[in-house]
A = this chain, B = another copy of it.
Amino acid sequence: MLSQSEENYLKEIYALEELASKEVSTNAIAEKMNTKASSVTDMIQKLSQKGLVVYKKYQGSKLSKKGREQAVAIVRKHRLWETFLVNKLDFLWDEVHEIAEQLEHVSSETLIDRLDAYLGHPEFDPHGDPIPKPNGDVVKMQNKCLTDMDVNHSGVLVEVKNSEKAFLKYLNKRNIAIGDHIKVTEIESFDNSMKIHIKEKELVISEEIAKNLYLNT
């Protein structure tokens, strides 16, 4: 039985590993979890003790097989609950993260399997992230980041790498949503901002925004 805190650590380490695919630094974890590095060291040592994390002093940490399994299970729960909130309870995609942050810790295999069935075994959550299968398989997304695209190339927005409320609200305001067809029409080399064609309109977005948008091209 893992504590809520342990679960949150595993989940964030998993997320960081997905990004960088190498050992994650103590500071990186601390930043993600809004704690101090010293707290992270304490927790990492405990998780290492429990065989969930592979840790060598000063060398960063990575999940063990067991730790990764646990992490994926939590991610599965998180994304299924988000899907439930949006598909069944009519929440907007920018309103569900914090609630799912709590729901993901409810422990009951049966519950999550039933929820999965009730939702019709969805493949992606409201932010376009793949929902892990019960056996731990996760569809490997290899979508193209908007910043890596050239002028006149286009694709469908399938994934949003930032689930912060402020960011999602920005997208809502600009009327940018998962499923939209986006075409790059201009790139400003000075600040890497870009002009895109979306829903019959032209929009200018900063590099900071583009970094978080992934397209299926």
Check A90 against B102 for contact (C-beta < 8 Å): no
Residue numbers in B under 8 Å from A103 (CB-CB) = 103, 106
- Docked Cα-Cα span, A57 to B106, in Å, equals 36
Residue numbers in B under 8 Å from A95 (CB-CB) = 110
Check B111 against A107 for contact (C-beta < 8 Å): no
Check A114 against B99 for contact (C-beta < 8 Å): no
Q: Beyond the given A88-B118, A95-B110, could you list 10 further A-B residue pairs with CB under 8 A, ordered by the A residue number?
A: A89-B111, A89-B114, A89-B118, A91-B110, A91-B114, A99-B106, A99-B111, A102-B105, A102-B106, A103-B106
Q: Is A108 interfacial (CB 8 A cutoff)? A: yes
- Docked Cα-Cα span, A111 to B89, in Å, equals 8
Q: Is A115 interfacial (CB 8 A cutoff)? A: yes
- Docked Cα-Cα span, A106 to B4, in Å, equals 13
Which of A89, A90, A95: most chain B CB closer than 10 A? A89
Which 6 pairs, one residue from A and one from B, show the smallest C-beta to C-beta distance?
A: A89-B114, A102-B106, A99-B108, A99-B111, A89-B118, A103-B106
* Residues 81-117 (chain A) with a chain B CB within 8 angstroms: 85, 88-91, 95, 98-99, 102-103, 105-108, 110-111, 114-115
